Amino acid sequence: MIQRAVDDASSGKEPTTVLQKLQGWAAHECVAAAVYVFTRHPDDPKSALLEAANTPGDSDSIATLVGALVGARCGIEKIPENWVGNVEHSSELMELAEELSKLEEL
């Protein structure tokens, strides 16, 4: 399913067609849907997250996976600042992330 999702994204297949099939109610569908959206928007967190959050089906799970993928690729700098600031406990989470980034590898 993941390979098909990558192929569909690369071929320009319409999101409504692909994501209607991959509604994410099962784990394998959710992962494939996230890979499809990520492949379409690997360097654009805003577009990726908006598309994922507005998919049919288990959109919150799909958006969570897309956020992890695109966030890991692009970093927090590319995520709209007001989105980061509006997350509950965002300042505490940012502090924890900063502390984690300073830890040495074990």
Taking the chain (106 residues) in runs of 10, the rounded mean pLDDT of each run is 95 92 92 97 97 95 96 92 90 90 74
The reported pLDDT for the residue numbered 101 is 83
The total number of structural domains in the chain stands at: 1
CA distance 49 to 62: 9
Q: In terms of Cα–Cα distance, which of 27, 34, 70, 25 is closest to 52?
A: 34
Q: Which structural domain range is residue 37 located in?
A: 2-102
